[in-house]
Amino acid sequence: LQKVLSAGGQLGVVIVAQSGPVSQMAVLRAMEYSEVYVAAVELGAGANEVLRAAASYAGGPSVVLLAAPAAVRGDAQWTAFTYDPRREDADGASAFQACGTEVRKEIQAFLSRESLLTLVAKKSLPAEPAEGAGDGGDLAQGLADASKTVTILYT
């Protein structure tokens, strides 16, 4: 899945979990790639809406995790959510939207890290590239021109 996401392009992936425990790790990692629609929801009426949104997403790949309600019932590790980059493009809202009030700590840590790294990048890089700055100047200019959140991947 990670290789496919890094290549980009139009691809829809649906993962169905019929029994627990259900791991959200693959979909959480998919949020680290730029322009990927990601969702983790329970099978049922709401799943149809999420699948339609994923199918209509033209900005890149989409990854949807559908879990049987019995597989995640009472599971404190489960957070239903959607991550739609179109929200940032349209009105500057957060791409991440939890479907409930409880957000898994790993997801909250990812969102906090993304916000922190974006803030650091915006403050650390010059708004105007220096004359003859080369690739560093191009990077600074690209970040200055970016009108949405930039996710920085690291290992």
Amino acid identity, position 7: A
- 52/84 Cα distance (integer angstroms): 13
- 41/149 Cα distance (integer angstroms): 24
Amino acid identity, position 104: R
The predicted-structure confidence for 71-100, as pLDDT tens digits, reads as follows 998 888 889 999 998 887 677 778 888 888
State the pLDDT at residue 147. 44
Question: What is the model's pTM?
Answer: 0.70
- 129/52 Cα distance (integer angstroms): 42
Strand-pairing partners, residue 47, are: none
Work out the number of other CB atoms within 10 angstroms of the CB of residue 47: 18
Strand-pairing partners, residue 11, are: none
